[in-house]
Homo-oligomer: A and B are copies of this chain.
């Protein structure tokens, strides 16, 4: 009765398992998904999965890692066509939001399982995430060097405020509640940051101009 699964290559089978696991994890979450169900979807038996993945947790990390690698895509390339710190910053924020909007289930999974310290710290996934967020840090530091962005705040803090803020803000949407207007939010966040980020300071700038005006007025008075 039990039809045995057709034999295919290691690579194909791994791809199938990753695909099925990704769908199930995204759909039901990590804890709620069972290895048995993943196996059933692939059309093999549980033991087969353990031929390719040491544990359920390793399978999850593989799923996340594969997705991450695919997602990088042309981020850096797209960025090349955009000039000016503000525009580049807004692009990265918008692009991040777009990823969240287009893959809510998967991003929820990622955020949920990302941090579980035990196996995340020092993992390949952490490396990928670091590489991903490093793009933003670079943009910020370029902006600091070119004088467009104030340099009295660590870029890492700004990075955390941006990604942390976005994650928090998008969470209800990722859980299926409400909409995510990515254009408006990208605009708002950039607008918020931008007035905080520029090198120029409101007070010194105002002071400079006030002094200038006063000087002119004195000249005017003495001339008349």
Contacts and interface: CB of A to CB of B under 8 A. Distances in A.
Contact of A157 (B112, B153, B189, B217): B189
A201 B196 CA distance: 11
Main DSSP-derived SS at the A contact region: helix
Contacts of A200: 202, 206
Contact of A164 (B167, B175, B197, B216): B167
Interface of A: 29, 108, 111-112, 115-118, 121, 152-154, 156-158, 160-169, 171, 175, 177, 185, 188-189, 191-198, 200-202, 205-206, 209-210, 212-213, 216-217, 219-220, 223-224
A209 B201 contact: no
Copies in the complex: 2
B160 A169 contact: yes
Contact of A209 (B169, B206, B217): B206
Contacts of A205: 202, 205-206
A198 to B, nearest CB: 7
